[in-house]
Amino acid sequence: MEKIILDGKVVAQKIKENLAEKIVSLKENGIVPCLATVLVGNNSSSKTYVRMKGNACEKIGMKSIRIHLPEETKTTDLIQTINELNNDPAVHGILLQHPVPSHIDERLAFEAIDVKKDVDGVTSAGYGQTALGFGKYPSCTPAAIIKILKFYQIPIEGKHAVVIGRSPILGKPVSALLLNENATITTCHSKTLNLPSILKQADIVVAAVGKPKFILGDWLKKGAIILDAGYNEGNIGDIDYDSCYEVASAITPVPGGVGPVTIATLLQHTVESAEKHNR
């Protein structure tokens, strides 16, 4: 059985190449696509993610505004910052880096983002539109997973997809997107019983559980397609890569799988938002 390594760097590069022409066209009309990232506190991983997103913008000619608020920032102050970005016509996308410090009402802050600038699909309106099949900006990691499957021409329709994880910005929206592609979905989580027996039925597995090396190869059906959306300390995914590699017909590496496509999708959504502004 030929094994496919689902190389996200290749997919991300293709997305960025397609964006380059659009960015030039927008600039000719006086518009520079602009992503604003808001970071609260000093989480080292979050700092790294924000820096990566900002650098990715600048490399393809977009503008990046990086707002770093102190750890003690109150929910009301964070929402005021988001509202200022909502009202700034030069800003086309807003990303509030998750997680925020525990004293902040993260959901309230997410909901403050204008749905027209919600390029990471974190608002309830954005999620609802995604689930109903007409969302413009689905959450970027779920959207990246669909992009990878389509880029490698892996059939989704009629397949049994098992998603491990139910977070509002990953597990739930990727289940909705796969359902919209006519897959049959089982969404599993920390309360699921007999997870290995469920995974044995899966044609497509999306690992989004947030536990390093959690999913083992002997839990999987021979020939399953594995998409690892986990990113844990030490560049380790949510699957035990070596044992899953032996069983899978296609698999994403970590790093270099879903991650690069997530960032490219964020750039794409911001450019699309800028195009709507131009119209």
Q: For residue 87, give the CATH number of its domain.
A: 3.40.50.10860
How confident is the model over 232-275, as pLDDT tens digits?
888 899 999 999 999 999 999 999 999 999 999 999 999 999 99
**Nearest by Cα to 199 from 261, 20, 209:** 209
How confident is the model over 149-200, as pLDDT tens digits?
999 999 999 999 999 999 999 999 999 999 999 999 999 998 999 999 999 9
Q: Which domain holds residue 149?
A: 140-258
Last residue in a domain, options 50, 83, 116: 116
- CA torsion through residues 94, 100, 105, 106, sign: positive
Dihedral angle computed from the Cα positions of residues 102, 104, 105 and 108, in that order, rounded to the nearest 10 degrees: -140
* CA 167 – CA 210 distance, rounded (Å): 10
User: For residue 2, how many C-alpha atoms fall within 13 Å in the half-sphere facing its CB?
Assistant: 2
Task: With both helix axes pointing from N to C terminus, report the angle between 171-180 and 124-132 in degrees, rounded to the nearest 10.
Answer: 20
Q: State residue 279's pLDDT score.
A: 73
Which residue numbers are catalytic?
Answer: 53, 97, 120
How many structural domains are present in the chain?
2
* CA 223 – CA 243 distance, rounded (Å): 13
Same domain, yes or no: 89 and 174: no
Same domain, yes or no: 178 and 70: no
pLDDT-based confidence at residue 1 (cuts at 50, 70, 90): low
In a domain, residue 133? The reply is: no
In a domain, residue 43? The reply is: yes
